[in-house]
């Protein structure tokens, strides 16, 4: 009986550890346009700071900058240097299937994603 309980506890501990890191987000900063991730992705939050007047960003569900509406998942801009904005998607993350591509101009962005 003790062996069954011990084996059950070991199995439970291993199962928890296997799935514990599944939803851990990566937090990264970017200041230039680039492909961040290929394939499936989820964005939980975006922080944008304009480094000069007219700073903006667009995030596409694509591998390159497509400039077509269906691939645009998020966008933002600030008219004045050093202004910022925060977009929170933790309750309902933005989902990507093709890739996570960031187009950015005159600013930097911090993204929480997986």
pLDDT in tens, 83-99: 999 999 999 999 999 99
Give the tens place of pLDDT for each residue, 45-75: 999 999 999 999 999 999 999 878 889 999 9
Label residue 2 exposed, middle or buried (CB < 10 Å: 0-12, 13-18, 19+). exposed
User: Confidence class of residue 25 from pLDDT cuts 50, 70 and 90?
Assistant: confident
Q: How far apart are CA 43 and CA 52, in angstroms?
A: 25
Q: Is the per-residue pLDDT at 11 higher than 60?
A: no
Asked if 25 contacts 94 with a C-beta cutoff of 8 angstroms, the reply is: no
The dihedral through the CA atoms of 50, 28, 46, 66 has a sign that is positive
Q: Is the per-residue pLDDT at 6 higher than 90?
A: no
């Amino acid at each position: 009986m003790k062996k069954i309980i011990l084996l059950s506890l070991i199995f439970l501990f291993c199962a928890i550890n296997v799935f514990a890191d599944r939803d851990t987000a990566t937090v990264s900063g970017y200041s230039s346009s680039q492909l961040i991730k290929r394939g499936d992705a989820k964005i939980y939050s975006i922080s944008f700071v304009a480094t000069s007047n007219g700073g903006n960003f667009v995030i596409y569900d694509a591998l390159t900058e497509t400039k077509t509406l269906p691939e645009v998942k998020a966008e933002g801009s600030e008219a004045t240097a050093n202004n910022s904005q925060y977009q929170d998607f933790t309750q309902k993350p933005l989902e990507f299937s093709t890739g996570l591509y960031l187009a950015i101009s005159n600013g930097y962005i911090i993204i929480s994603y997986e």
